[in-house]
Amino acid sequence: MKKRIVIALGGNALGNNLPEQMIAVKHTSKAIADLIEEGHEVVISHGNGPQVGMINEAMAEYGRSNKEHPTFTPLSVCVAMSQAYIGYDLQNALREELIGRGIPKSVATVITQVRVDSDDPKFLNPSKPIGHFMNEEELEYAKANGIQVMEDAGRGYRRVVASPMPKEIIEINTIRNLLESGEIVIACGGGGIPVTRIGNHLKGAAAVIDKDFASALLAKELNADYLIILTAVEKVAIAFRGPNEKWLDAISVEEARQYISEGHFAPGSMLPKVQAAVEFASSGENRTALITLLEKAKDGINGKTGTFIRKA
């Protein structure tokens, strides 16, 4: 049966630099096209970890060499840039793959803003280091201009930003209309461009949004049947790499929450994926989250592999 699916691509699906990305998206597009070929409606989201860092670094380097340019480019602008160039490569690779299979569907990237709360407590405790290590001049500039920094493992100071929870996808109606007209949509890249609302104005925030939580919100807003979170392992494990390691096939939301409370999943790695999967699966009836490898997405939808999380 046809399913509405939101696919959250991890960094391994996009490569670590431009040449790698152009190769990786061709491979990624084959796995996505497999699902489209089976008749499913597909929306794609993706991370931007290495890409947004490269953009931030490039803009900072330009600022160092050109004094008329600000040393620090707003992070929201860097996220927007990453959405555009990742989307450009991904939509063209997927378009080419679909044409090769005789599938007459268009692919569109939506530059997506995601609202966060300005009073999110995570703004008080920023924890995500980004960009390069600063020299003394840059460090003084950052401190003088209210840009938060942190010492990173004895190697020097880097800019540090918050990772607030996503609350609203600004362009959700555009995404929904494109999907319902038969388009393949790429949206919420890098977790979305973080913005706060001030009256009718949307102001960019110095933050990064976790792409798995943004993908869960996107899936809920689109009333998706499946949220597929693609990662570097075929299944989720508890006691990972320990003597009692156990790979999970299907678990309930309650079981997943128990494993989270017992500390089975690493922060910054599997933990946000499982938390996002629980967020989606618990949000309504007949909603399923699947965590698996990119290459196993089709098999996962057909119940052959991966870790499924559903209401009991």
The residue from 3, 12, 49, 92 that is catalytic is: 12
CA distance 236 to 264: 10
Sheet harboring 4-9: ordered strands across?
A: 107-109, 184-186, 41-46, 4-9, 226-231, 288-293, 307-310, 250-252
End-to-end CA distance of the chain: 22
The residue from 11, 53, 63, 204 that is catalytic is: 11
The residue from 47, 131, 235, 273 that is catalytic is: 273
The residue from 15, 47, 131, 211 that is catalytic is: 211
Where does the chain show beta strands of DSSP type E?
A: 4-9, 41-46, 107-109, 113-115, 128-130, 149-151, 157-161, 168-169, 184-186, 193-198, 201-204, 226-231, 236-238, 246-248, 250-252, 288-293, 307-310
- Answer yes or no: 12 catalytic: yes
| Amino acid making up residue 249 | D
CA distance 263 to 257: 10
Per DSSP, 132 falls in state: P
- Answer yes or no: 211 catalytic: yes
User: Token pair for residue 53?
Assistant: 């860092």
Task: Label residues 171-202 b or e (16+ Cβ within 10 Å = b).
Answer: bbebbbebbeeebbbbbbbbbbbbbbeeeeee
CA distance 203 to 135: 29
Q: Nearest to residue 238, comparing CAs of 283, 286, 291?
A: 291
The residue from 47, 128, 191, 296 that is catalytic is: 128
How buried is residue 309: exposed, middle or buried, by Cβ count under 10 Å (0-12/13-18/19+)? buried
- Answer yes or no: 246 catalytic: no
CA distance 50 to 17: 8
List active site positions.
11-12, 128, 211, 273
